Protein backbone atom coordinates (compact mmCIF):
# COMPACT_ATOMS: atom_id res chain seq x y z
CA UNK A 1 0.00 0.00 0.00
CA UNK A 2 2.73 2.51 0.95
CA UNK A 3 5.64 2.94 -1.43
CA UNK A 4 7.66 5.34 0.72
CA UNK A 5 7.34 7.70 3.67
CA UNK A 6 9.44 10.72 4.65
CA UNK A 7 9.01 12.72 7.85
CA UNK A 8 10.47 16.23 7.94
CA UNK A 9 10.50 19.06 10.46
CA UNK A 10 9.15 22.34 9.09
CA UNK A 11 8.58 25.36 11.31
CA UNK A 12 8.87 23.27 14.50
CA UNK A 13 6.27 20.79 13.24
CA UNK A 14 6.65 17.22 12.00
CA UNK A 15 5.08 16.53 8.62
CA UNK A 16 4.88 13.06 7.10
CA UNK A 17 4.98 12.79 3.32
CA UNK A 18 3.58 9.48 2.12
CA UNK A 19 4.01 8.12 -1.39
CA UNK A 20 1.19 5.84 -2.45
CA UNK A 21 -0.85 5.24 -5.57
CA UNK A 22 -4.00 4.47 -3.63
CA UNK A 23 -6.24 7.15 -2.22
CA UNK A 24 -7.09 5.78 1.21
CA UNK A 25 -8.87 8.12 3.60
CA UNK A 26 -7.64 6.21 6.65
CA UNK A 27 -3.96 6.47 5.74
CA UNK A 28 -3.48 9.75 7.61
CA UNK A 29 -4.86 8.27 10.82
CA UNK A 30 -2.80 5.09 10.40
CA UNK A 31 0.42 7.07 9.94
CA UNK A 32 -0.35 9.23 12.98
CA UNK A 33 -1.02 6.13 15.10
CA UNK A 34 2.22 4.47 14.00
CA UNK A 35 4.23 7.62 14.72
CA UNK A 36 2.62 8.01 18.15
CA UNK A 37 3.94 4.55 19.07
CA UNK A 38 7.53 5.65 18.44
CA UNK A 39 7.56 9.36 19.27
CA UNK A 40 7.67 10.71 22.83
CA UNK A 41 4.30 11.96 24.10
CA UNK A 42 5.57 15.55 23.89
CA UNK A 43 5.97 15.24 20.11
CA UNK A 44 3.18 14.58 17.65
CA UNK A 45 2.80 14.53 13.92
CA UNK A 46 1.30 17.79 12.66
CA UNK A 47 0.15 16.63 9.24
CA UNK A 48 0.27 13.82 6.71
CA UNK A 49 0.59 14.75 3.04
CA UNK A 50 -0.22 11.98 0.55
CA UNK A 51 1.63 12.21 -2.76
CA UNK A 52 1.49 9.99 -5.81
CA UNK A 53 5.21 10.62 -6.35
CA UNK A 54 7.89 12.46 -4.40
CA UNK A 55 9.48 15.38 -6.27
CA UNK A 56 13.01 14.38 -7.29
CA UNK A 57 16.08 16.48 -8.05
CA UNK A 58 18.50 15.92 -10.94
CA UNK A 59 20.36 13.28 -8.90
CA UNK A 60 17.19 11.23 -8.36
CA UNK A 61 16.95 12.14 -4.66
CA UNK A 62 13.87 13.57 -2.97
CA UNK A 63 13.79 17.34 -3.49
CA UNK A 64 12.72 18.51 -0.03
CA UNK A 65 12.39 22.12 -1.18
CA UNK A 66 9.64 21.09 -3.61
CA UNK A 67 7.59 19.13 -1.06
CA UNK A 68 4.21 20.84 -0.75
CA UNK A 69 3.01 22.43 2.47
CA UNK A 70 0.11 20.68 4.18
CA UNK A 71 -3.32 21.85 3.16
CA UNK A 72 -5.04 23.81 5.91
CA UNK A 73 -7.89 21.77 7.33
CA UNK A 74 -11.34 23.27 7.23
CA UNK A 75 -13.13 22.06 10.33
CA UNK A 76 -16.73 22.78 11.23
CA UNK A 77 -16.73 22.69 14.99
CA UNK A 78 -19.62 21.29 17.00
CA UNK A 79 -21.05 23.65 19.60
CA UNK A 80 -19.33 21.81 22.47
CA UNK A 81 -15.93 22.68 20.99
CA UNK A 82 -16.49 26.38 21.55
CA UNK A 83 -15.31 28.05 24.77
CA UNK A 84 -17.79 27.54 27.60
CA UNK A 85 -16.43 30.21 29.97
CA UNK A 86 -14.77 33.61 29.78
CA UNK A 87 -11.52 32.00 30.92
CA UNK A 88 -11.69 29.42 28.12
CA UNK A 89 -12.30 32.25 25.65
CA UNK A 90 -9.19 34.09 26.92
CA UNK A 91 -7.14 30.89 26.71
CA UNK A 92 -8.44 30.24 23.20
CA UNK A 93 -7.32 33.73 22.17
CA UNK A 94 -3.87 33.09 23.63
CA UNK A 95 -3.50 29.70 21.93
CA UNK A 96 -4.69 31.09 18.58
CA UNK A 97 -1.92 33.67 18.84
CA UNK A 98 0.70 31.08 19.88
CA UNK A 99 -0.22 28.60 17.13
CA UNK A 100 -0.91 31.32 14.53
CA UNK A 101 -4.32 29.90 13.66
CA UNK A 102 -7.82 31.35 13.56
CA UNK A 103 -9.49 28.86 15.87
CA UNK A 104 -8.42 26.45 18.61
CA UNK A 105 -11.28 24.24 19.85
CA UNK A 106 -11.43 24.13 23.64
CA UNK A 107 -11.54 20.34 23.93
CA UNK A 108 -9.13 19.28 21.19
CA UNK A 109 -5.63 18.04 22.08
CA UNK A 110 -3.32 21.00 21.49
CA UNK A 111 -0.56 18.73 20.16
CA UNK A 112 -2.76 17.71 17.24
CA UNK A 113 -3.00 21.38 16.28
CA UNK A 114 0.77 21.77 16.18
CA UNK A 115 1.58 22.79 19.75
CA UNK A 116 4.96 21.79 21.14
CA UNK A 117 6.81 22.12 24.44
CA UNK A 118 7.88 25.69 23.62
CA UNK A 119 4.25 26.68 23.12
CA UNK A 120 3.36 25.13 26.49
CA UNK A 121 6.20 27.00 28.20
CA UNK A 122 5.10 30.30 26.62
CA UNK A 123 1.50 29.64 27.65
CA UNK A 124 2.53 28.76 31.21
CA UNK A 125 4.58 31.95 31.40
CA UNK A 126 1.50 33.90 30.33
CA UNK A 127 -0.67 32.00 32.82
CA UNK A 128 1.76 32.88 35.62
CA UNK A 129 1.75 36.58 34.73
CA UNK A 130 -1.99 36.78 34.17
CA UNK A 131 -3.58 34.43 36.70
CA UNK A 132 -0.98 32.79 38.94
CA UNK A 133 1.02 35.75 40.25
CA UNK A 134 0.47 34.61 43.84
CA UNK A 135 1.93 31.14 43.15
CA UNK A 136 5.61 30.86 44.16
CA UNK A 137 6.61 28.55 41.31
CA UNK A 138 4.56 26.72 38.72
CA UNK A 139 5.84 23.61 36.97
CA UNK A 140 4.88 23.98 33.31
CA UNK A 141 4.63 20.19 32.98
CA UNK A 142 1.27 20.19 34.79
CA UNK A 143 -0.14 22.08 31.81
CA UNK A 144 1.73 19.82 29.40
CA UNK A 145 0.01 16.78 30.95
CA UNK A 146 -3.36 18.48 30.38
CA UNK A 147 -3.66 18.84 26.63
CA UNK A 148 -6.81 20.91 26.07
CA UNK A 149 -7.86 24.48 26.69
CA UNK A 150 -10.75 23.21 28.82
CA UNK A 151 -8.33 21.32 31.05
CA UNK A 152 -6.07 24.36 31.36
CA UNK A 153 -9.06 26.49 32.33
CA UNK A 154 -10.03 23.96 35.02
CA UNK A 155 -6.49 24.02 36.43
CA UNK A 156 -6.39 27.81 36.46
CA UNK A 157 -9.85 28.07 38.02
CA UNK A 158 -8.77 25.72 40.79
CA UNK A 159 -5.52 27.59 41.53
CA UNK A 160 -7.05 29.69 44.31
CA UNK A 161 -7.95 26.57 46.26
CA UNK A 162 -4.72 24.58 45.83
CA UNK A 163 -1.10 25.07 44.83
CA UNK A 164 -0.30 23.95 41.29
CA UNK A 165 2.58 21.51 41.63
DSSP codes of every residue in 21-82 = SS--TTHHHHHHHHHHHHS-TT--EEEEEEESS--B-TTSSB-GGGSPPPPPP--PPPGGGS
- What is each CA distance from 130 to 87, 104, 161, in whole angstroms? 11, 20, 17
Mean pLDDT of 50-54: 89
Q: Is residue 76 scored above 60 in pLDDT?
A: no
Among 8, 9, 52, residue whose Cα is nearest residue 27: 52
55 confidence band (pLDDT: 50, 70, 90): very high
Q: Mean pLDDT lowest for which of 27-36, 85-94, 144-153?
A: 27-36
Q: Which one-letter DSSP state was computed for residue 136?
A: S
Q: Is residue 108 scored above 90 in pLDDT?
A: no
Residue 35: burial class (beta carbons within 10 Å; 0-12, 13-18, 19+): middle
The pLDDT of residue 134: 65
Q: Is residue 86 scored above 70 in pLDDT?
A: yes
Report the percent of the chain where pLDDT is more than 70.
81
- Radius of gyration in angstroms for the set of CA atoms belonging to the chain, rounded to a whole number: 19
First to last CA, the chain: 47
Q: Is residue 71 scored above 90 in pLDDT?
A: no
Mean pLDDT of 103-109: 84
23 confidence band (pLDDT: 50, 70, 90): low
What domains are defined for the chain? 4-66 (3.30.300.30), 79-160 (1.10.1200.10)
Report the percent of the chain where pLDDT is more than 90.
22
Distance CA(132)–CA(165), nearest Å, equals 12
Amino acid sequence: QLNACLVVAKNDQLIAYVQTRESDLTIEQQIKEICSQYLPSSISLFAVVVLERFPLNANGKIDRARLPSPEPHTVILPVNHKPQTELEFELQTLWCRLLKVDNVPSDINLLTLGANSLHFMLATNHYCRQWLSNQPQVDFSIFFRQMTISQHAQLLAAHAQTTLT
